[in-house]
Amino acid sequence: MGKPRVIPGFGLSMGITIFWLSSIIIIPLAALFIKAAGLGLEEWWNILSSPRVLAAARLTFGASAAAALVSMVLGLLVAWVLVRYEFPGRRVLDAMVDLPFALPTAVAGITLTTIYAPTGWLGRYLAEIGIQGAYSPFGVFIALTFIGFPFVVRTVQPVMEDLGTELEEAAAVLGASRWTTFRRIIFPALTPALITGFTLAFARAIGEYGSVIFISGNLPMKTEILPLLIVSQLEQFRYEAAAVIAAGMLIVSFILLFLINLLQRRLAR
């Protein structure tokens, strides 16, 4: 007699899983590629290799990667403070980390634009040193960092809580410096979680639209991102071209995420 199971057997569970994944992922993605298949390979190449699409792709993937890297570093620091220190307002700070999850992206975009505009609270000081906050690629980077930062904190925080301080105390007793303890003990244990947080922040940033359209200025060849370019193609009733850009974006995103996950598995061994 087999062991009792809390959920139904493999056949029923697998059937429900396949049906659900097909309904929300596989079928919509298949419809996207079918729509894009209405154009030939030459038209695919002409669309994806156009200067406007390439400029939007460079900004989208470049700013997303940069924002995810910054989020990874700052997320590690914030998670460290929340886990290792007790101080007044700690729970409030912990709750504030989740605000980008709850805040509508359009509201976040308007708020960031107000703050980083040339006349904004922070933008005026950036302008004095020659840095343009809003309506620039830097503004896109700010928005993507804002929406991706919580993913890193919430991924690293539980892992850091499970680490404890025993190994650090043992290393200190044996004469290891703080930097050596962090480099040889803490960082290797946190690396898989950091890569996971980076992956989530990067994936989230690639498809971000609401918070970016306000702060970027949406200038073609300068501050236009791929999601906005897709929307503009739809507004012009160029559905096949929008599908081709979306399909190309999806393929590149899948390859990048696959490589990142492959790296994560190798480091976790």
Is the pLDDT score of 187 beyond 90?
A: no
Q: Do residues 113 and 133 touch, judged by C-beta distance below 8 A?
A: no
pTM score of the predicted model: 0.85
User: What are the pLDDT digits (tens) for 26-72?
Assistant: 888 888 888 888 888 888 899 999 999 999 999 999 999 999 999 99
If pLDDT is split at 50, 70 and 90, which confidence band does 87 have? confident
| pLDDT score of 76 | 93
Q: Do residues 88 and 102 touch, judged by C-beta distance below 8 A?
A: no
Is the pLDDT score of 7 beyond 70?
A: no
User: What are the pLDDT digits (tens) for 232-244?
Assistant: 898 888 889 899 9
Architecture of domain 40-268: Orthogonal Bundle (1.10)
User: What are the pLDDT digits (tens) for 205-234?
Assistant: 998 888 898 888 888 889 999 999 999 898
The residue-averaged pLDDT of 2-7 equals: 60
The residue-averaged pLDDT of 185-198 equals: 87
Is the pLDDT score of 4 beyond 80?
A: no
Residue in this structure with the two tokens 């992956």, named with its chain if needed: 199
